[in-house]
Amino acid sequence: MTQSLPARCLPVLFLLSLIGSFAGANDLAPPGYSWQACKSIECYFLVPDGWQLKQLDNAKVLKYQLMPDQHNRKVPPQIRINILTNMEGQTGLSAERHTELFMQELGRNGKVLDIWNHKSGVLRSTAATSLHVERVPAALRKFNLLIRNTQTGTLYVFTFETQSEYWDKDWGVVEAIFTRLRLDEGV
């Protein structure tokens, strides 16, 4: 069900017009956050105080996980970040086709609540919120943001998930991360 973007989510996809302006001395982190750079490619993420950005080992995909240092929940809130470069060369499928397959799988595994699409220069994004009620030990709500570079074939997959009852509280923390992503158009 594609629809126009709710005003609350406009900043999330407005980030695409900011791609290429990198964090650093010219871009102060908001109170309660700090900038952390990816070690492998030119990108930056806001990290809330009390959260940790970890690079996970994987030979073919750059993987990061962002989550609170401490939590007392069945399932901690987290953002998973996968950066897949040269998609077509590695898999034979374009980044656009991978996005289509991801969205199909999302619909099979949960109830898709909203979908948004946006274009900005060489970048294309698809965002979706979904509800996954058959997950153990708790029902999860997810926000997925897929950004593909039409020139390089790189696909960025961001997935934020939290228990449904904590959605409003946790979205208030992670929304700044999505509204201030810094990615390099050359990657």
Does some domain include residue 148? Answer: yes
Number of domains in the chain: 1
Asked if the bond preceding 30 is cis, omega within 30° of 0, the reply is no
The chain-wide mean pLDDT, for the chain, equals 79
- What tokens were used for 79? 């953002």
Whole-number pLDDT of residue 80: 92
Does some domain include residue 71? Answer: yes
Does some domain include residue 170? Answer: yes
Q: What's the number of CA atoms in the CB half-sphere (13 Å) around residue 20?
A: 9
CATH of the domain at 81: 3.40.1000.10
Q: What is the pTM (predicted TM-score) of this model?
A: 0.81
Judge contact between 155 and 87, C-beta under 8 A. Answer: yes
Does some domain include residue 2? Answer: no
The residue type at 84: L
For residue 34, count CB atoms less than 10 angstroms from its CB and return exposed for 0-12, middle for 13-18, buried for 19 or more: middle
Structure confidence by residue, pLDDT tens digits, 10-54? 334 444 444 444 444 357 889 999 988 877 777 788 899 999 998
Does some domain include residue 49? Answer: yes
Does some domain include residue 115? Answer: yes
Structure confidence by residue, pLDDT tens digits, 73-106? 888 899 999 888 888 888 888 888 988 998 888 8
Contacts of 147 (CB under 8 A, 6+ apart): 16, 123, 124, 125, 155, 156, 158, 183
Instruction: For residue 177, give the H/E element and its range.
Output: helix 167-179
Does some domain include residue 1? Answer: no
Does some domain include residue 18? Answer: yes
Residue 25, domain extent? 7-183
